Copies of this chain bind each other. A is one copy, B any other.
Amino acid sequence: MAEQSYDPNDFLPTAFQQIDTATGRSTTNALKASRLKLSLTTKLKPVPSPDSEDLLAHRVCTDHMIVACWTTQHGWDDPEMVPFAPISLSPTASVLHYSTSCFEGLKVHRGFDDKLRLFRPEYNCARMVASARRVCLPEFNPEELLSLIKKLCEVDGPKWLPKGRHGESLYIRPTLIGSDSSLGFQVPGEALLVILLSYWPASTGPSKGLRLPCSDEDAVRSWPGGTGSAKISGNYAPSLPMQGEARRRGFDQVLWLFGSEGYITEAGSANFFTIWRNYEGKLQLVTPPLTDHLILAGVTRQSILDLAMERFVETARSNYGCEPLEVLEIMLTVSDLQNASRDGSLLSAFVVGTACFMQPVVHVQYGEAGINIPEESVPHVSMMRQWMKDIMFGYEENTWACEVTDE
Binding site for B on A (CB under 8 A): 57-59, 61, 65, 84, 86-92, 95-101, 103, 133-136, 171, 173, 175, 177-178, 181-187, 194, 196, 198, 217-220, 223-227, 232-238, 240-241, 243-244, 269
Contacts and interface: CB of A to CB of B under 8 A. Distances in A.
Contacts of A243: 186-187
A86 B181 CA distance: 10
B134 A241 contact: yes
A86 B84 contact: no
Nearest to A2: B217
B65 A135 contact: no
Contacts of A103: 97
Contacts of A134: 238, 241
B217 A182 contact: no
A58 B57 CA distance: 38
Nearest to A61: B92
Contact of A88 (B86, B198, B238): B86
Which 10 A-B pairs rank lowest in CB-CB distance, beginning with the nearest?
A: A234-B234, A220-B225, A98-B236, A99-B233, A136-B240, A223-B223, A135-B237, A58-B184, A58-B183, A86-B88
A355 to B, nearest CB: 8
Given A136-B240, A173-B183, A91 B84 contact: yes
Contacts of A224: 217, 220
* Total identical chains: 2
A234 B99 contact: yes
Nearest to A99: B233
A128 to B, nearest CB: 13
Contacts of A178: 237
Nearest to A240: B136
Given A182-B59, A196-B91, A236 B99 contact: yes
A89 B177 CA distance: 13
A399 to B, nearest CB: 29
B59 A97 contact: no
A88 B88 contact: yes
A96 B175 contact: yes
Contacts of A57: 182, 184
B220 A238 contact: no
